[in-house]
C-alpha cells in the first residue's frame, strides 16, 4: 500500500474544504464583463456559505479579480482586510486559491495579491483552520509560479516560513527548498526578535530564538508562563519551543514554571503533543508524556489522538527509533490503553495500527499488535489488506500467536491463536499474489483447526444432500426414459413422466412400476424444493457476488432444465430426452465442482481447470487449421460410404466433427477412398497427420503435463486456498442466520488453544514452525544476555530433536506393524 494513503485522504479533505466556497464563485472577470452581475448572483445562490458575515464584499471583489475595486476598498480605513470566512481563510487565501485553480484571470488575480501584500494591515502569515497560510496554499497546490511571485514581492521579508505546514512534518522553508531548489535564493531570512525589546513576551521569544537560556530564565514570569503571539507566529511560547530544534531545556523551564501541556493552537486547534510529534522532537514529546497533568484523550480537529500521530511520524535521524519506543512505553505506563484505547478511531474510522501499516512503520506495527491492537478494527480492512506487503502480513500473523511463559519444550506450553483477526484475513485466499501467505504456520494451523472442528461436518452434509438429490434425479430420469420407450401411446401422443402426472399406465406391470416410482417422485420433489431454497438463500446472502459466479449460473440452468423437463411443460419424448441429457450432464458436472471445493480434491479440480483453460486458449489459434482440413476432407471424401450406406463426410458440419475426432488419433486410413482424387488426397491426409495428429496433439499434451506439474508444486497452497474460501463463504452464510441456529458452530477461544508438546493432530514440522515463532517473539521482549540467548537456542534445538524423535518413533512403529502383518 502507498505509505501516504491515509495522509492523502486527509489532504484531499483539506482541499475539498478549502475550495468548497471557491468552486461556486466566478472564476474571474472584470467590472466591464456584461455577464458579471449574473455570475455574482449565481455564485451567491450556489455557494456553500451564503451567510452575510462570511461572504463579504472584499471576498466578492477578489473572486472576480477586480483589483481596481479592491484598491478602493483597501484605501478605506473602515475595511477589515483580515476578515475570514468560516474556514479561517482570508482574502489573500482566496486570491491564492483562485490563481492555483484557474489561470484565465491570473493577471488580475496577481494584481489582487500584490495589493493585499502591500497592505501593512494584512496578516500575511495567518493560517486557516487547516493550518495553511496563503503561501502555504500555493505550495500545497504545487503552483511554483505563485510561490515565486509571492517570494519576489517587496513584503516577502514579512513572511514567516519556519512553521510546520498543516500536517506536513517539515517546515515551510524546508518544503520550498526541497520542491523548488531554484527559489532558495529568494527565501527571506528567518524572523528573529530583538533581545533588547522592552516587551517581556517579545524578549522571551527572542531569547528562545537566540538560544539564550540565562536571559530566558531571568525574564520568565510565573504569572504568565506561556504568552501567546499573533502575527506572524499564531502560537504560544511553549508551542514554538516544542517545535524548535535543541530547545529541550527551554521546554522544561516553561513546564516547571507552570505552562500547561494541554494547550491547543488558537487557530488550528491542534494539541501541543500532536504538534510536537509532527515536528519530530521526540525527546520533547517524551518529556510532555511524563507530565502528570497531561490529558491523554486530547484530539485534533480530525479526532486523532497522540497515538495516531505517534504511528504516522517518520524517523528522521539516528536514535529516533529508540525515542519513539520510549514514547510508546510512556503511554503504556500512564494508562493510555485503559483510558483512551489502543484501537481508538479518528473521524474516518482509522486506527493507529492501520496508520502504522500504511506508513510501513514495521516496528511500530509490531509494538501495537503485541499490546493488543486489532488490525481488523479498521472498517475498510478487507479493501486495503490486498495492497499490503508480504512482510507486513507476516508480522500480523506472527502477532496472532500468543503463548504462556512456559519454556518451549515444556508440556505445559500453551499456544493461543487470535482467531478474530485471522477470521477477517480469510479474504487473502481471494487475492492471487497473497495466496502463498496461507502457508504461514499460524494461518495454516488456524485453517486446520476450523476445518477439523466445525467445517468438515457442514461440508459433508452439503455434499451428501446434493449427492442424494442427484441419485434420485438420475434414477428418475433413467426410469422415465426406459418406461416411455416401452409404452404404447395412443393417437401418436408422446408423454413423459412428470412431477404432476406420473406415468401413463396400460397394464399390470406398468401399474406396479408406477406405484413403486410414485414414492420416489415425492422424495425428488422435496429435494428439488430444498435445492431451490438453498440457491435462493445464497442469492440473498451473497447478492451481486452470487450473480458474478459462473458456477452459480450452472446451478440455475440446472434448476431451469429440471423444472422444464419434469414438470409436464414439454410433451414430446424427443424434446424431453434432450432436456434429460442436459440435466444429467449439468447435475453430475456440478457434483464435480462441488467436490472440487473440498481441500482433499482441490488439487485435482485445479488441474482440470488449468489444463482445460490452456487447451481452450491454444485451440483458439488452431481452430482455423482444423477448419481447413475439415473442408478439404469434405471435398475429397464426400462420396465415401462405410458399411451400410454410412457417409462419413456427408456435409461440412459432420466433416468438422469427424476431423476433431481424427485430431485425437482415432482415424482409419484404410476406409478412406484415396483413389477418388489420387495424389491430392494422399498429400492432404499426410499433412493432417503431421501438423495435427503429431505436432499439435503432442504440443497440447506437453502443455498439459507442464500445467499439471505446476499445480502439483502448489498443491499445498491450493488445498489451503480451497479451505479458506469454503470457510469464508460459510461464515458469511452463518452471519445471516439467527444465533440460535448457529450456536453449535460458533467459534470460541477454547477452540484455538494448543499444547504443542502434547499429543495432538498436527505434524512435527508445523509444530516446529510455531515454536520457532514463539522463540523469536520472546527474544526482544525479554532482552536476554548472551548466556540466556544460548540457553534459549539450546532449548529450541532440544525441542526440535524431541519432535524429530517422536516422528521417527511413529515411522518405526508403522514399519514394525507392516512386518507383523507379513509374518505367517
pLDDT tens track for 489-542? 444 444 444 444 444 444 444 544 555 555 667 788 888 899 999 888 888 888
pLDDT tens track for 500-510? 444 444 444 45
Burial of 719 (0-12, 13-18, 19+ CB in 10 A): buried
pLDDT tens track for 280-291? 999 999 999 999
**Of 215 and 79, which is predicted with more confidence?**
215
Tell me how far apart the alpha carbons of residues 534 and 501 are, in angstroms, rounded to a whole number: 26
Residue with cell 532440544: 798
The pLDDT of residue 548 is: 82
Phi, psi of 229 (to 5 degrees): -130, 140
Phi, psi of 432 (to 5 degrees): -55, -40
Domain residue ranges in the chain:
5-186, 200-389, 415-595, 605-713, 755-824
Tell me how far apart the alpha carbons of residues 493 and 75 are, in angstroms, rounded to a whole number: 104
The pLDDT of residue 744 is: 57
Is residue 666 scored above 90 in pLDDT? no
% of the chain exceeding 90 in pLDDT: 22
Which of 444-463 are b and which e, b meaning 16 or more Cβ less than 10 Å from the residue's Cβ? bbbbbbbbeebbeebbeebe
Alpha-carbon distances, residue 258 vs 222, 291, 353 (angstroms) = 7, 11, 34
Span of 25-39, 222-236, 329-343 with lowest mean pLDDT: 25-39
782-794: average pLDDT: 51
776-798: average pLDDT: 57
Q: Which residues touch 693 (CB under 8 Å, ≥6 apart)?
A: 662, 663, 665, 667
- Residue 312 in contact with residue 6, Cβ under 8 Å? yes
**Of 81 and 641, which is predicted with more confidence?**
81
Span of 72-86, 568-582, 672-686, 794-808 with lowest mean pLDDT: 794-808
Span of 156-165, 200-209, 690-699 with lowest mean pLDDT: 690-699
The pLDDT of residue 475 is: 85
The pLDDT of residue 503 is: 40
Is residue 824 scored above 80 in pLDDT? no
How is domain 5-186 classified at the architecture level of CATH?
Alpha Horseshoe (1.25)
Is residue 130 scored above 80 in pLDDT? yes
Is residue 629 scored above 60 in pLDDT? yes
The pLDDT of residue 598 is: 79
Residue with cell 424434446: 575
Band (11; pLDDT cuts 50, 70, 90): very low
Burial of 691 (0-12, 13-18, 19+ CB in 10 A): middle
Q: How many CB atoms neighbour CB 403 within 10 A?
A: 19
**Of 258 and 648, which is predicted with more confidence?**
258
Is residue 821 scored above 60 in pLDDT? no
Band (5; pLDDT cuts 50, 70, 90): very low
The pLDDT of residue 646 is: 47
Q: Which residues touch 541 (CB under 8 Å, ≥6 apart)?
A: 732, 733, 736
pLDDT tens track for 163-220? 998 889 999 999 999 999 999 999 999 999 999 999 999 999 999 999 999 999 999 8
The pLDDT of residue 796 is: 59
- Name the 3-class secondary structure at 632: helix
605-612: average pLDDT: 80
Tell me how far apart the alpha carbons of residues 738 and 655 are, in angstroms, rounded to a whole number: 60
Alpha-carbon distances, residue 124 vs 120, 121, 134, 230, 323 (angstroms) = 9, 9, 7, 11, 36
The pLDDT of residue 50 is: 35
**Of 48 and 566, which is predicted with more confidence?**
566
- Residue 364 in contact with residue 327, Cβ under 8 Å? no
29-53: average pLDDT: 33
Is residue 736 scored above 90 in pLDDT? no
Q: Do domains 5-186 and 200-389 have the same CATH topology?
A: yes
The pLDDT of residue 394 is: 85
In what helix (H) or strand (E) does residue 229 lie, and over which residues does it extend?
Answer: strand 228-229
Mean pLDDT of the chain: 78
Is residue 251 scored above 90 in pLDDT? yes
The pLDDT of residue 644 is: 44
Q: CATH says 200-389 is which class? A: mainly alpha
Band (802; pLDDT cuts 50, 70, 90): low
Amino acid at each position: 500500500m502507498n505509505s501516504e494513503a491515509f495522509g492523502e485522504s486527509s489532504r484531499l479533505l483539506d482541499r475539498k474544504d478549502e475550495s468548497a466556497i471557491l468552486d461556486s464563485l466566478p472564476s474571474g472577470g472584470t467590472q466591464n464583463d456584461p455577464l458579471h452581475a449574473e455570475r455574482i448572483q449565481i455564485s451567491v445562490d450556489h455557494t456553500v456559505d451564503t451567510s452575510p458575515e462570511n461572504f463579504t464584499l472584499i471576498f466578492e471583489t477578489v473572486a472576480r479579480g477586480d483589483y481596481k475595486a479592491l484598491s478602493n476598498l483597501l484605501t478605506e480605513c473602515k475595511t477589515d482586510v483580515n476578515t475570514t470566512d468560516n474556514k479561517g481563510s482570508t482574502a489573500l487565501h482566496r486570491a491564492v486559491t483562485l490563481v492555483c485553480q484557474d489561470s484565465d484571470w491570473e493577471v488580475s488575480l496577481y494584481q489582487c495579491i500584490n495589493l493585499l501584500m502591500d497592505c501593512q494591515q494584512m496578516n500575511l502569515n495567518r493560517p486557516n483552520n487547516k493550518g495553511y497560510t496563503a503561501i502555504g496554499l500555493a505550495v500545497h497546490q504545487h503552483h511554483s509560479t505563485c510561490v515565486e511571485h509571492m517570494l519576489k514581492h517587496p513584503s516577502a521579508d514579512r513572511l514567516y516560513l519556519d512553521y510546520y505546514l498543516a500536517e506536513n512534518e517539515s517546515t515551510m522553508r524546508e518544503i520550498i527548498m526541497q520542491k523548488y531548489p531554484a527559489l532558495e535564493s529568494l527565501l527571506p531570512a528567518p524572523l528573529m526578535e530583538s533581545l533588547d525589546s522592552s516587551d517581556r513576551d517579545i524578549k522571551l521569544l527572542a531569547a528562545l530564538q537566540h538560544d539564550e537560556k540565562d536571559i530566558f530564565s531571568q525574564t520568565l514570569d510565573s504569572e504568565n508562563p506561556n504568552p501567546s503571539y499573533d502575527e506572524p507566529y499564531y502560537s504560544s511560547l511553549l508551542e514554538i519551543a516544542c517545535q524548535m530544534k535543541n530547545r529541550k531545556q527551554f521546554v522544561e523551564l516553561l513546564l516547571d514554571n507552570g505552562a500547561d501541556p494541554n494547550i491547543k493552537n488558537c487557530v488550528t486547534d491542534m494539541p501541543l503533543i500532536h504538534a510536537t510529534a509532527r515536528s519530530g522532537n521526540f525527546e520533547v514529546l517524551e518529556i510532555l508524556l511524563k507530565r502528570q497533568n497531561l490529558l491523554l484523550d486530547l484530539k485534533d480537529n480530525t479526532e486523532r489522538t497522540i497515538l495516531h500521530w505517534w504511528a504516522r511520524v517518520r524517523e528522521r535521524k539516528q536514535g529516533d527509533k529508540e525515542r519513539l519506543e520510549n514514547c510508546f512505553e510512556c503511554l503504556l505506563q500512564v494508562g493510555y490503553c485503559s483510558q483512551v484505547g489502543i484501537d481508538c478511531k479518528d473521524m474516518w474510522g482509522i486506527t493507529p495500527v492501520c496508520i502504522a501499516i500504511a506508513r510501513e512503520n514495521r516496528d511500530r506495527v509490531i509494538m501495537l499488535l503485541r499490546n493488543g491492537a486489532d488490525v481488523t478494527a479498521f472498517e475498510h480492512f478487507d479493501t486495503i489488506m490486498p495492497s499490503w506487503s508480504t512482510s507486513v502480513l507476516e508480522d500480523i500473523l506472527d502477532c496472532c500467536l500468543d503463548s504462556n511463559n512456559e519454556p518451549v519444550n515444556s508440556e505445559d506450553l500453551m499456544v493461543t491463536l487470535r482467531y478474530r483477526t485471522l477470521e477477517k484475513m480469510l479474504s487473502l485466499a481471494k487475492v492471487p499474489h497473497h495466496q502463498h501467505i496461507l502457508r504461514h504456520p499460524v494461518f495454516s494451523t488456524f485453517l486446520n483447526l476450523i476445518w477439523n472442528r466445525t467445517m468438515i461436518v457442514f461440508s459433508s452434509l452439503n455434499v451428501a444432500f446434493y449427492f442424494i438429490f442427484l441419485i434420485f434425479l438420475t434414477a428418475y430420469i433413467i426410469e422415465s426414459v426406459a418406461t416411455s420407450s416401452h409404452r404404447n401411446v395412443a393417437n401418436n401422443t408422446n408423454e413423459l413422466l412428470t412431477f404432476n402426472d406420473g406415468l401413463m399406465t396400460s397394464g399390470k406391470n406398468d401399474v406396479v412400476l408406477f406405484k413403486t416410482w410414485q414414492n420416489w417422485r415425492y422424495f425428488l420433489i422435496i429435494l428439488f424444493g430444498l435445492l431451490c431454497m438453498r440457491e435462493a438463500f445464497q442469492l440473498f446472502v451473497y447478492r451481486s457476488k452470487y450473480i458474478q459466479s459462473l458456477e452459480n449460473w450452472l446451478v440455475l440452468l440446472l434448476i431451469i432444465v429440471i423444472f422444464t423437463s419434469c414438470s409436464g411443460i414439454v410433451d414430446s419424448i424427443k424434446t424431453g430426452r434432450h432436456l434429460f441429457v442436459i440435466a444429467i450432464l449439468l447435475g453430475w458436472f456440478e457434483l464435480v465442482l462441488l467436490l472440487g471445493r473440498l481441500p482433499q480434491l482441490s488439487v485435482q479440480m485445479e488441474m482440470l481447470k488449468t489444463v482445460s483453460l490452456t487447451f481452450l486458449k491454444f485451440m483458439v489459434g488452431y481452430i482455423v487449421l482444423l477448419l481447413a482440413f475439415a473442408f478439404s476432407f469434405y471435398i475429397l471424401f464426400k462420396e465415401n460410404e462405410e458399411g451400410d450406406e454410412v457417409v462419413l463426410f456427408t456435409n461440412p458440419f459432420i466433416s468438422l466433427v469427424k476431423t476433431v475426432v481424427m485430431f485425437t488419433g482415432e482415424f482409419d486410413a484404410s476406409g478412406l477412398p484415396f483413389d477418388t482424387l489420387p495424389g491430392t488426397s494422399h498429400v492432404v491426409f499426410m499433412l493432417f497427420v503431421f501438423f495435427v495428429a503429431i505436432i499439435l496433439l503432442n504440443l497440447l499434451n506437453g502443455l498439459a503435463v507442464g500445467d499439471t506439474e505446476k499445480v502439483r508444486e502448489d498443491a499445498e497452497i491450493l488445498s489451503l486456498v480451497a479451505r479458506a474460501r469454503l470457510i469464508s463463504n460459510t461464515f458469511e452464510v452463518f452471519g445471516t442466520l439467527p444465533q440460535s441456529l448457529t450456536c453449535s458452530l460458533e467459534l470460541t477461544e477454547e477452540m484455538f488453544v494448543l499444547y504443542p508438546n502434547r499429543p495432538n493432530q498436527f505434524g512435527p514440522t508445523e509444530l516446529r514452525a510455531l515454536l520457532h515463532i514463539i522463540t523469536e517473539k520472546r527474544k526482544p521482549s525479554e532482552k536476554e544476555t548472551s548466556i540466556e540467548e544460548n540457553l534459549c537456542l539450546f532449548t529450541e534445538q532440544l525441542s526440535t530433536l524431541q519432535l524429530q524423535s517422536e516422528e521417527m518413533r511413529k515411522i518405526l512403529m508403522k514399519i514394525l506393524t507392516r512386518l507383523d502383518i507379513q509374518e505367517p
